[in-house]
């Protein structure tokens, strides 16, 4: 795998940070390339060297976070829910500005739907309707219940200033998942 030049990496990080900061301040449609270049302290031409436009920048940023969450899921797939959730909540905490902006932003409704789709993929094999407490229930209904509850809980946690530590959230959400899956 080829190594990415540090200057390129630094520029791309500055652009990603700039767009998220700007989205936390104003509507995505009102953000211009000039706004992004001013905030990131780069020229407009530099932005176009890396991205087609602001939509491409946002799409790639979202894809990067979805990939990172997928990697977390893969690395924790053999763990109990409460243990597997800890890296998730630590990641959410570390990337608070991104998630708070994306989940409340009218300019990025695609993020919420991509987040839901990602969680559906991750939880669909966990749903058991053949025995136990979910016997006779519809797997799609259970899956939608779990996924929308998870997203809603993440939105609540972030919107309320993360009132509980990632450890507490991971433990309690893990218990709830074990009860319902």
Q: Domain residues of the chain, as ranges?
A: 1-51, 62-180
The residue ranges of the chain whose pLDDT is under 50 are none
Q: Can you give the pLDDT at residue 135?
A: 85
Q: How far apart are CA 69 and CA 118, in angstroms?
A: 9
Contact at 8 Å (CB) between 33 and 47? yes
Q: How far apart are CA 5 and CA 74, in angstroms?
A: 28
Q: How far apart are CA 127 and CA 33, in angstroms?
A: 44
Residue 37, number of CB atoms within 10 A of its CB: 19
The residue to which tokens 């779990």 are assigned: 146
The superfamily in CATH containing domain 62-180 is Tetracycline Repressor, domain 2 (1.10.357.10)
Of the candidate CATH numbers 3.30.1360.120, 1.10.150.120, 2.40.50.140, 1.10.10.60, the domain formed by 1-51 belongs to: 1.10.10.60
Q: Can you give the pLDDT at residue 109?
A: 75
Q: Can you give the pLDDT at residue 26?
A: 92
- Quote the pTM value: 0.88
Q: The tokens of 64 are what?
A: 């990067």
């Amino acid at each position: 795998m080829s190594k990415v030049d540090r200057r390129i990496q630094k520029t791309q990080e500055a652009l990603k940070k700039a767009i998220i900061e700007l989205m936390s301040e104003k509507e995505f449609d009102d953000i211009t390339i000039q706004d992004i270049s001013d905030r990131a302290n780069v020229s407009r031409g530099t932005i176009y060297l890396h991205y087609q436009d602001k939509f491409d920048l946002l799409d790639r940023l979202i894809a990067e976070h979805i990939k990172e969450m997928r990697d977390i899921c893969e690395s924790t797939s053999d763990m109990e829910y409460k243990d597997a959730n800890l890296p998730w909540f630590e990641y959410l905490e570390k990337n608070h500005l991104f998630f708070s902006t994306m989940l409340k932003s009218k300019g990025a409704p695609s993020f919420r739907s991509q987040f839901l789709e990602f969680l559906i993929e991750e939880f669909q094999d966990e749903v058991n309707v053949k025995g136990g407490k979910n016997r006779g229930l519809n797997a799609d209904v259970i899956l939608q219940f779990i996924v929308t509850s998870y997203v809603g809980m993440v939105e609540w946690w972030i919107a309320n200033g993360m009132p509980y530590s990632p450890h507490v959230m991971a433990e309690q959400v893990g218990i709830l998942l074990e009860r319902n899956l």
